[in-house]
């Protein structure tokens, strides 16, 4: 049995859509919410004959990958996150590139020589690689309407991946993959007015409108921190809402808090759009913090550290 292991966001799902349109294959699908990245360990070593892994850091899956290699299972690994120490093996084929202007779907696009490039461009938009995605649109002579639709598709599929567990999501990423695979190209998806594209768009609008009533914890010229009520919609929209706030006031840093089951908070941090650095530096000052320069997060911020978080954020960008 072949296993397809993929991140539940736009980049992971659309990388697999491209691959399986080009190389159809019966497979067992393994995925989860966007933050669920230690996925390879879910592969059944006994029945696996081959494995494809997309858009989850090799560093977080080293042990499981080694275990597959030890069991003579060939692996194709495509990703753009930190790989850590990669053990050489003729069984392990890697396409890993950590440059800031690359995502997994663009790597798959190269591998397939651009065969399904529209899906790859949507994924690049989903991973917020807007400049690269726009450039790809230009290179391929894509008109403005299609370009806007691809950007929306990337945003919506990415948005669908956020949640505490897959129960929070509108579509389980497995189902989203299966439904999208039924379309040869995103254009067919856009022209079907009853497709999931329009369902997701509707759902997104509802969530983002609710977020407008977010509780403001702190607001200055430097940064703004808000908290959302403890609800499924809050967990779905928190990441994208951070991006929206950043777009509205590009000179400010932003933090969006949602409450966890244990009373701690998940924090999404966005650096000011006009100064896209340091979000990770702010977050790693707290246990369970991490991320990239422009967008980072803290998985479990204790309630009593909210004030400390706000002053770190304020002082960092002051
Ligand atoms: Mn990605």
pLDDT in tens, 54-63: 999 999 999 9
pTM for the full predicted model:
0.89
User: For residue 55, how far is its CA from the centre of ligand 1 (angstroms)?
Assistant: 5
Report the pLDDT value the prediction gives residue 295, as an integer from 0 to 100.
Answer: 86
If asked whether residues 198 and 221 sit together in one domain, one would say: no
User: For residue 167, how far is its CA from the centre of ligand 1 (angstroms)?
Assistant: 22
Is residue 304 included in any domain, yes or no?
Answer: yes
User: For residue 154, how far is its CA from the centre of ligand 1 (angstroms)?
Assistant: 11
**DSSP annotation string for 149-178:** HHHHHHHHHHHHT-SSSGGGSSS-HHHHHH
Task: Say whether 44 sits in a helix, a strand or coil.
Answer: coil
User: For residue 220, how far is its CA from the centre of ligand 1 (angstroms)?
Assistant: 32
Residue-number span of the structural domain to which 217 is assigned: 213-317
Question: What strand order describes the sheet that includes 50-54?
Answer: 27-30, 2-6, 50-54, 75-79, 92-96
Question: Tell me, what CATH number does 8's domain have?
Answer: 3.90.1640
More confident residue, 24 or 85: 24
If asked whether residues 69 and 179 sit together in one domain, one would say: yes
If asked whether residues 45 and 13 sit together in one domain, one would say: yes
If asked whether residues 58 and 187 sit together in one domain, one would say: yes
| pLDDT digits 0-9 by tens, 229-252 | 999 999 999 888 988 898 899 999
User: For residue 72, how far is its CA from the centre of ligand 1 (angstroms)?
Assistant: 28
User: Binning pLDDT at 50, 70 and 90, where does residue 217 land?
Assistant: very high
User: For residue 120, how far is its CA from the centre of ligand 1 (angstroms)?
Assistant: 11
Measured between alpha carbons, how far is 253 from 169 in angstroms, rounded to an integer? 27
Residue 316 predicted with pLDDT over 90: yes
User: For residue 10, how far is its CA from the centre of ligand 1 (angstroms)?
Assistant: 8
Residue 290 predicted with pLDDT over 90: no
Report the pLDDT value the prediction gives residue 100, as an integer from 0 to 100.
Answer: 83
Give me the chain's average pLDDT, please. 95
Paired strand residues for 92: 75
Is residue 82 included in any domain, yes or no?
Answer: yes
User: For residue 53, how far is its CA from the centre of ligand 1 (angstroms)?
Assistant: 12
User: For residue 285, how far is its CA from the centre of ligand 1 (angstroms)?
Assistant: 24
Report the pLDDT value the prediction gives residue 238, as an integer from 0 to 100.
Answer: 87
CA distances from 121 to 41, 99, 126, 130 (A): 30, 17, 9, 9
Per-residue H/E/C for 272-315 = CHHHCCCHHHHHCCCCCEEECCCEEEEEEECHHHHHHHHHHHHH
If asked whether residues 225 and 304 sit together in one domain, one would say: yes
If asked whether residues 142 and 264 sit together in one domain, one would say: no
Scan for tokens 């000011």, then name that residue.
272
User: For residue 263, how far is its CA from the centre of ligand 1 (angstroms)?
Assistant: 29
Q: Which of 173, 203, 233 is the last residue of a domain?
A: 203
Scan for tokens 């949507």, then name that residue.
122
Is residue 97 included in any domain, yes or no?
Answer: yes
Is residue 208 included in any domain, yes or no?
Answer: no
Report the pLDDT value the prediction gives residue 82, as an integer from 0 to 100.
Answer: 82
If asked whether residues 145 and 269 sit together in one domain, one would say: no
If asked whether residues 190 and 166 sit together in one domain, one would say: yes
**DSSP annotation string for 62-87:** HHHHHHHHHTT--EEEEE-S---SPP
Question: Tell me, what CATH number does 239's domain have?
Answer: 3.10.310.30
Per-residue H/E/C for 232-248 = HHHHHHHHHHHHHHHHH
If asked whether residues 13 and 154 sit together in one domain, one would say: yes
- The total of structural domains in the chain comes to 2
User: For residue 80, how far is its CA from the centre of ligand 1 (angstroms)?
Assistant: 7
User: For residue 103, how far is its CA from the centre of ligand 1 (angstroms)?
Assistant: 5
Nearest to 34 by CA among 128, 120, 131, 119: 128
Measured between alpha carbons, how far is 122 from 306 in angstroms, rounded to an integer? 36
Report the pLDDT value the prediction gives residue 165, as an integer from 0 to 100.
Answer: 94
If asked whether residues 24 and 89 sit together in one domain, one would say: yes
User: For residue 307, how far is its CA from the centre of ligand 1 (angstroms)?
Assistant: 32
User: For residue 304, how far is its CA from the centre of ligand 1 (angstroms)?
Assistant: 33
Q: What is the mean pLDDT of residues 298-307?
A: 96
Is beta strand 75-79 parallel, antiparallel or unpaired with respect to 92-96?
parallel
Residue 85 predicted with pLDDT over 90: no
If asked whether residues 63 and 129 sit together in one domain, one would say: yes
Is residue 98 included in any domain, yes or no?
Answer: yes
Q: Which of 169, 203, 237 is the last residue of a domain?
A: 203
User: For residue 276, how far is its CA from the centre of ligand 1 (angstroms)?
Assistant: 18
Measured between alpha carbons, how far is 113 from 120 in angstroms, rounded to an integer? 11
In the chain, what percentage of residues exceed pLDDT 70? Answer: 100
| pLDDT digits 0-9 by tens, 11-38 | 999 999 999 999 999 999 999 999 899 9
Q: Which two tokens stand for residue 25?
A: 């294959």
User: For residue 253, how far is its CA from the centre of ligand 1 (angstroms)?
Assistant: 23
Tell me the Cα Rg of the chain.
19
User: Binning pLDDT at 50, 70 and 90, where does residue 282 land?
Assistant: very high
User: For residue 234, how far is its CA from the centre of ligand 1 (angstroms)?
Assistant: 22
């Amino acid at each position: 049995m072949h296993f397809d292991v993929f991140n539940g966001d736009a980049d992971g799902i659309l990388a697999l859509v491209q691959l399986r349109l080009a190389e159809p294959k019966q497979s067992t699908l393994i995925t989860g919410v966007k933050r669920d990245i230690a996925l390879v360990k879910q592969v059944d070593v006994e029945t696996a004959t081959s494995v494809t892994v997309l858009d989850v850091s090799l560093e977080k899956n080293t042990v499981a990958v080694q275990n597959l290699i030890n069991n003579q299972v060939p692996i194709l690994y495509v990703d753009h996150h930190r790989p850590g120490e990669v053990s050489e093996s003729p069984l392990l084929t890697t396409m890993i590139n950590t440059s800031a202007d690359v995502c997994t779907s663009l790597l798959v696009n190269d591998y397939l020589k651009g065969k399904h490039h529209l899906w790859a461009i949507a994924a690049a938009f989903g991973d917020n690689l807007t400049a690269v995605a726009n450039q790809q649109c230009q290179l391929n002579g894509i008109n403005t309407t299609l370009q806007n639709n691809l950007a929306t598709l990337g945003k919506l599929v990415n948005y669908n991946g956020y949640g505490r567990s897959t129960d929070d999501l509108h579509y389980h990423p497995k189902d989203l993959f299966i439904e999208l695979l039924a379309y040869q190209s995103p254009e067919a998806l856009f022209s079907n007015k009853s497709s999931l594209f329009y369902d997701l768009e509707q759902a997104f609008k509802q969530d983002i409108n609710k977020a407008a009533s977010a509780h403001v914890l702190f607001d200055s010229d430097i940064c703004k921190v808000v908290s959302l009520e403890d609800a499924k919609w809050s967990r779905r929209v928190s990441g994208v809402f951070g991006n929206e706030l950043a777009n509205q006031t590009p000179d400010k840093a932003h933090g969006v808090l949602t409450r966890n089951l244990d009373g701690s908070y998940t924090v999404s941090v966005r650096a000011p759009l006009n100064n896209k650095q340091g979000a990770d530096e702010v977050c790693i000052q707290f246990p369970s913090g991490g991320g990239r320069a422009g967008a980072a997060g803290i998985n479990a911020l204790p309630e009593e550290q909210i004030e400390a978080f706000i002053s770190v954020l304020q002082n960092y960008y002051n």
